[in-house]
Chains A and B, each alone.
Chain A
Amino acid sequence: MAQTRALAAMPAPGNPPAPARPSTKQGEPASLDEAGRVRRFEQIFSAHLDAAYDFARWLTRDERNAEDVTQEACLRAFKSLDTFHGGNGRAWLLAIVRNTYYTMLRKTRAERMSVSFDDETMAAGELAELESTGSAVDLVLQQRDARRLVNAALEELPEEFREVIVLRELEDLSYKEIAAIAGIPLGTVMSRLARARKLLLQRLQHAKRES
């Protein structure tokens, strides 16, 4: 499979695939007629393809792999359109992009990776601790460097932190939507965002001192 090959060079996943799946509502018809299906999908597709590709691009950090993931995700989304009953079409499509990414990634890897970071939802004290450490250097970046530094720092983030920060800051999604897409509890969304931001600050401050 071309897609499998294309993904072979990708880095290890930080966490296993999430359980996030599109939802169905009770009491609604199980399927649409064909024309209705196509029309409904075209709406979601044309409105959210850029978001789907952007998310895939940030997950894969590679243009070609991002295209493969996006294409596969769109086909899957089309085939499982019966499971979409209105609501947030973008979050629904992004959840499928994420599942597709992890499925394709898993196919390229013989062994399952164990979770290497402490994924427990942090207690208030730990979250507060996270904020109290760290230097007091102001984050003022030179305009000409900012773009390069910010994007490099984001790309270097471990996957599980990168996806929540991308969904939050680039897609501007709520904690609830991020939790649904990544298949993690709300508290974990919060603690991963806190850690992602701490890592970003460290990298940016480090880069600033270097320059």
Chain B
Amino acid sequence: MDCTETRSRLHPYLDRELDLESSLAIERHLASCEACRTIFGRQSALQSTVRQHAQHHAAPAALRERIAARLASEAAPRTPRRSPWRLPSVREWLQLGGAALAGALISWTAAIQYAGVASDQRLAEEVITGHARSILTAHLVDVPSSDRHTVKPWLSARLDFSPTVVDLAAAGFPLAGGRLDYLDDRPVAVLVYHYRQHVIDLFIWPSEGGAAQPPKAMSSKGYHVLHWREAGMTFWAISDVDPSQLASFADAYKSAK
């Protein structure tokens, strides 16, 4: 390992984030290179200085009591009032849809529409879950690459379909890679794009029947979701960017193909 490589990994080494092999390689280099040893010594001294002297602020007792009291009052009278933090359940959706449509449509036509809403809602939940899990576990991509000629074959080799992969850097949405997820009872492709510091996931899988469908927007839990069907494929774009940005992203993807 040379100086450049050692210095580029000094922080993960200091923070014990490297695997054993890399750590040993760095230790070997440090043993033989005084310049790198000096730099490491300085960083290591800084870390212990910060850890020794940086102030930990304990929560004031009054704050603890105030929050406990607020929570107690939140918890006690929990009426069936739907929390804005949750998606409505399938049953609630059916009730809403039922009220709006009652008497207006023949019952079995309405039933088909209910089923459509309910299944979109369930899929939206699954898409949000997949997106949130990947961010929380920092597992954004299985194949990190901005090159569609790398991402597409990787996905195609692992799926029973071949998603359209395009880099949208020119439109402000650089391709960051791809990963696999499992939802709607099947493995699906996820293309991962960046927009500034945000992550946009595009879930793709073949749609079972169903005609082309223009983008439909939904929002939940702070995420915005855009769903459309085209050329036999189902698309779900999800992110925490503004809905208008997500719409631009969908436009860019659809027109780039």
The residues of A with any CB-CB pair to B shorter than 8 Å are 15-26, 30, 34, 37-38, 41, 45, 49-50, 52-54, 57-58, 66-67, 70-71, 74-76, 78-80, 82-83, 95, 99, 115, 119, 123-125, 127-128, 130-132, 134, 136, 138-141, 146-147, 149-151, 154, 165-166, 168-170, 174-176, 179-180, 183-186, 190, 193-194, 197, 200-201, 204
Contacts and interface: CB of A to CB of B under 8 A. Distances in A.
13 contacts: A18-B197, A19-B240, A23-B129, A23-B133, A54-B58, A71-B63, A76-B85, A115-B197, A132-B3, A150-B49, A151-B53, A169-B47, A180-B138
Chain B: interface secondary structure?
A: helix
A15 B132 contact: no
A201 B197 contact: no
A49 B239 CA distance: 29
B54 interface: yes
B91 to A, nearest CB: 12
Nearest to B12: A190
A70 B70 CA distance: 12
B52 interface: yes
Given A19-B240, A141-B49, 18 more contacts: A21-B136, A24-B132, A25-B129, A30-B89, A49-B64, A70-B59, A71-B63, A71-B70, A80-B85, A83-B221, A124-B4, A128-B6, A128-B7, A139-B49, A165-B50, A175-B12, A197-B11, A201-B46
B133 A24 contact: yes
Contact of B8 (A75, A128, A174, A186): A128
Given A20-B135, A22-B136, A175-B15, A131 B7 contact: yes
Is the contact region of chain A dominated by helix, strand, or loop, or is it mixed?
helix
Interface in B50-75: 50-60, 63-64, 66-68, 70-71, 74-75
Interface residues of B, number: 64
A190 B132 CA distance: 22
A151 B58 CA distance: 15
Contacts of A168: 15
Interface stretch (B35-43, B95-103, B226-234): B35-43
Contacts of B47: 169, 197
The 7 closest A-B pairs by CB, nearest first: A124-B8, A53-B59, A128-B7, A23-B136, A127-B8, A150-B53, A131-B7
A19 B173 CA distance: 16
